[in-house]
Amino acid sequence: MHSSEQIKDFILENLTRHQKDIIKATILKFGLSRQAILKHMHTLISEDRVVAHGKTRDRFYELIPLVNFSQTIDVNSSFSPDKILKNQIIPNLESVPHNIYEVCEFSIMALLANTLDHSQATKLNYKLYISPNDVHFILSDNGIGIFENLNNSLILEDIQVAAIEIAKGRITTDPQNHGGDELMTVIHLFDKVAIDASGISLSFHNNNNEWIVTRSSQQIGTRIHLEIKLNSRRTCKEVIKKIFDQDGKMVRIPVNLVRNKNEQVNSRIQAQSLLHNLKDLTEIEFDFQNI
């Protein structure tokens, strides 16, 4: 016997992917009648958690966000990550669990400061979107692009190598301020992270520790999309401890990032890209997922 909460939770968790067929998807999941599922949907609508559009055959549903806030800001001498966080971000995080609040506070501050220090941007736009299930934070700027910046600063042979360096972790153009440590921490705090710049999209999926690199339409500036479920138990303390307990002596290299499309991984140039910038390590782990 399935509880009402289980059915409503399924609807909320899957609605974004099934706006037009969520009723059918829920029927298949629980084996209940259409009338029974519609009863739960009507409850969600009456609770202002879901909105319905259209009639009968053309009907589709959307989640009603708890927060949908965006801003465009000039990056100039008056740009202050602290003030943006305090005045614009934190007031919109009041509805989330404490651990998610801390994750967002730390990560958004780190990204805003990084934009100011390294992006060479004159404008940035951010969006904070909180649904009944998850939090999304999207930050875009019109700067040099994170991969191009790394490529130029570290004199890499290819833009894609910059994506590999980010996946390896702790890569930075500002070692005195540990910028690479912050970025690696932010990436591992979230369920999913996508970084788009210079025609490349680098994404990380925390549930299976998987990195993926594909083509992107983002040519100018950088776009970073962070996503985490509201019921995640992940904490800043746990992730930071896990990263820094390794004492910088271990690195994990996702081998699949070195190839373009479906080409084989068997060349010396590819090997050099993977092994770039490996110093003072006691352990190197090669991840052959998707090879």
Report the pLDDT averaged over residues 187-194.
Answer: 97
Task: Give me the CATH topology for the region 67-246.
Answer: Heat Shock Protein 90 (3.30.565)
- Domains in the chain: boundaries: 4-63, 67-246
Q: Of 54-63, 230-239, 249-258, give the lowest mean pLDDT range.
A: 249-258
What is the side-by-side strand order in the sheet with 123-130?
A: 67-74, 123-130, 134-141, 222-229, 192-197, 200-205, 210-215
Q: Coil, strand, or helix at residue 92?
A: helix
Separation between Cα atoms, residue 58 and residue 291, nearest integer Å: 42
* CATH architecture of residue range(s) 4-63: Orthogonal Bundle (1.10)
pLDDT value at position 178?
46
Model confidence pLDDT, tens digit, residues 45-54: 999 999 999 9
Q: Do domains 4-63 and 67-246 have the same CATH topology?
A: no
Model confidence pLDDT, tens digit, residues 192-219: 999 999 999 999 999 999 999 999 999 9
Single pTM value for the model: 0.80
Q: Give 119's pLDDT tier (boundaries 50, 70, 90).
A: very high
